[in-house]
Amino acid sequence: MTDRLTIRRPDDWHVHLRDGAMLAHVAPYTARQFARAIVMPNLSPPVTTVAEGRAYRERIVAAIPAALDFTPLIVAYLTDGTDAEEMARGHAEGVFTAAKLYPAHATTGSAHGVTDVANIMGVLERMADIGMPLLIHGEVTDHDVDIFDREALFIDRTLAPLVARLPELKIVFEHITTAEAAQFVADAPANVAATITPQHLHINRNAMLVGGIRPHAYCLPVAKREHHRLAVRAAATSGSPKFFLGTDSAPHAVHTKEAPCGCAGIFNAPFALESYIAAFDEDGALDRFEGFASEHGPRFYGLPLNQGTITLERGATVVPDRIGDVVPFHAGETLGWRIV
Ligand SMILES: [Zn+2]
C-alpha cells in the first residue's frame, strides 16, 4: 500500500478568489496548495478589459504572502459586447490566459454573461486563431429546463455545435457533473478537455437534500444523481489527459449561504488536495493522481510543467467547522491524507 506520494507541484485550473476582504482571506489557501491557478473573472463588475485584468492580478499578488510561490492566471469575462481585439491584445500581453463563457444568469455574478453564443462568434474565431482557450460554464439557463438537466442539454444545444463550428478552438468544459459531459469530452477531439471539482467526486444530490437542506453542499452546477458522480469520478481517475484538476472553490460568507435564497458555491481550497487524493485512493488510482493534478492541465494550456514537488502521506487532516466566516467543504470531517 502506498502511504506516501510525492508529485510535481499541482495547479488549480478553476478557482474563485473574489476581491477585497474575501480575496485577502481565501487567496493564501489556494497559494499554499497550488503553484498556479486559473482565477475566474466573475467579480462585480466582472473582469472584461485588459486594464481590469492587470489590476486584478496585482490585487491577487498583493493578497498572497511573499514567501508563497504562486502565479495567478487571469481570465477575461465574455459578454455580448466583448471586442475580439481586446481579447487578442490581453492574450498577447500575457494578461489573459483564457476567456470565460458564462451563459447569462447561469451562476454567481453571471448577469453580464453571454445571451447567445452567436453574439460572440467573431471573438471565438479570433481566439481559435491565436490559441486562446475558451472556458465554459456549461449549463443552459432557459427557465423551462429542469436544473438537473441543464448541463446535459447544454451539450446538445450549444457545445456540440460550437465544437463542430470551430474545430481548432481549445475548450475547457468546466466543473463537469454528469455522465453525458464526461462522455462528450472523452469522445471529443484533443482540443476539448474538462475540469473536475473535489465535491463532484465525493457527493451526489443526497448530500444537499436528505435529512434537511444543506446549503453548504449547494453549488452550480448542482450535484447530480449517484450514477453521474461515479461517471465523473471514473473520468477523473481514468488517466485521460482530457480531465484535470479545477476546484471551483467558491467562498461565500456563512450568512449568505444559510439564507432563504442561499448562494451557490463550495469553499474547498484549504484541503483540496487532501480531498482529491482521498477519492483517487478509494478508487485504487493513486498512480494517476499526478497526471490529473499536475500534468494534464499545463499540457492542455500549453504551459510549462511546474518544477517543484509536494508530498502527501496517510494521516489525519481534521477539517474545521469554520474558516473565518466561511464553512469549508468536508467541515467537521477527518480526511485520511495530509500534506507533509
Ligand atoms: Zn466556477
Q: Average pLDDT for residues 306-316, to the nearest whole number?
A: 97
3, 12, 149, 248: which is the annotated catalytic residue?
Answer: 248
Distance 161 CA to ligand 1 centre (A): 23
Longest CA pairwise span in the chain (Å) = 54
Distance 175 CA to ligand 1 centre (A): 7
With cut-offs at 50, 70 and 90, classify the pLDDT of residue 107: confident
Distance 3 CA to ligand 1 centre (A): 32
DSSP state of 155: I
DSSP character string of 255-282 = HHHSSTTPPP-BB-GGGHHHHHHHHHHH
pLDDT tens by residue, 10-48: 999 999 999 999 999 999 999 999 999 999 999 999 999
C-alpha cell at 70: 504562486
Q: Is the pLDDT of residue 111 over 80?
A: no
Q: What are phi and psi of 157, to 5 degrees?
A: -80, -35
Distance 231 CA to ligand 1 centre (A): 20
Q: Is the pLDDT of residue 96 over 80?
A: yes
Return the pLDDT at 39: 98
CA distance 263 to 265: 6
Distance 25 CA to ligand 1 centre (A): 18
Q: Average pLDDT for residues 88-115, to the nearest whole number?
A: 90
Strand partners, 136: 101, 173
* C-alpha distances in Å from residue 251, one per residue of 1, 304, 326, 327: 35, 29, 7, 8
Distance 168 CA to ligand 1 centre (A): 24
Of 283, 282, 335, residue with least CA distance to 313: 335
Omega of the bond leading into 45 within 30 degrees of 0 (cis): yes
Which of 2-6, 23-27, 112-116 shows the lowest mean pLDDT across its residues?
112-116
Which of 77-86, 89-98, 100-109, 257-266 shows the lowest mean pLDDT across its residues?
100-109
pLDDT tens by residue, 258-306: 999 999 999 999 999 999 999 999 999 999 999 999 999 999 999 999 9
Q: Is the pLDDT of residue 109 over 80?
A: no
Q: Is the pLDDT of residue 108 over 90?
A: no
Distance 40 CA to ligand 1 centre (A): 7
Distance 1 CA to ligand 1 centre (A): 35
Return the pLDDT at 292: 98
Return the pLDDT at 128: 98
The answer to whether the CB of 61 falls within 8 A of the CB of 72 is yes
Average of per-residue pLDDT values in the chain: 97
Q: Which secondary-structure segment (H or E) carries 89?
A: helix 84-92
Distance 252 CA to ligand 1 centre (A): 13
For the question of residue 142 being annotated catalytic, the response is no
Q: Which secondary-structure segment (H or E) carries 173?
A: strand 171-173
CATH of the domain spanning 12-305, picked from 3.20.20.140, 3.30.43.10, 3.40.50.2300, 3.30.930.10: 3.20.20.140
Q: Average pLDDT for residues 83-88, to the nearest whole number?
A: 97
Distance 282 CA to ligand 1 centre (A): 26
CA angle 44, 159, 191 (to 5 degrees): 95
Distance 23 CA to ligand 1 centre (A): 15
Q: Is the pLDDT of residue 210 over 90?
A: yes
Strand partners, 15: 39, 249
Place of cell 456563512: 254
Strands (E), the chain: 4-8, 12-15, 36-39, 71-77, 96-101, 134-136, 171-173, 192-196, 243-245, 309-318, 334-339
Return the pLDDT at 24: 97
Place of cell 474565431: 125
% of the chain beyond a pLDDT of 70: 100
With cut-offs at 50, 70 and 90, classify the pLDDT of residue 112: confident
